[in-house]
């Protein structure tokens, strides 16, 4: 039997809870509890209340999720900038 695909969603961090957990409100209005992915812990990425995040949610339990990416408002995309040397 094949493993179910994870649902990718975006949300906003409402509250920081103990034990590296966060209360998230999804873009569609649902609320859930999420924790940071191992790669985010490894790279010491901090998540603050009010941050926009991307998360993975299992189709089996829609009340829990894993934060995979923190969006920063003023982040510039490096893909479209030309490489200039001075």
Q: Which two tokens stand for residue 32?
A: 């859930």
pTM over 0.85: no
**pLDDT tens sequence across 51-68:** 999 999 999 999 999 999
Residue labelled with tokens 């995979």 = 68
**pLDDT tens sequence across 17-34:** 998 899 999 999 999 999
Residue labelled with tokens 């089996």 = 60
Residue 4: count of CB within 10 angstroms of its CB: 9
């Amino acid at each position: 039997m094949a493993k179910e695909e994870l649902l990718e969603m975006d949300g906003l961090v409402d509250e920081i809870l103990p034990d590296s957990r966060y209360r998230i409100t999804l873009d569609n209005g649902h609320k859930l509890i999420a924790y940071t992915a191992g790669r985010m812990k490894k790279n010491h990425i901090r998540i603050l209340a009010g941050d926009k995040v991307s998360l993975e949610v299992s189709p089996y339990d829609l009340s829990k999720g894993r934060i995979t990416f923190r969006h920063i408002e003023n982040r510039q995309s490096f893909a479209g900038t030309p490489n200039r040397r001075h």
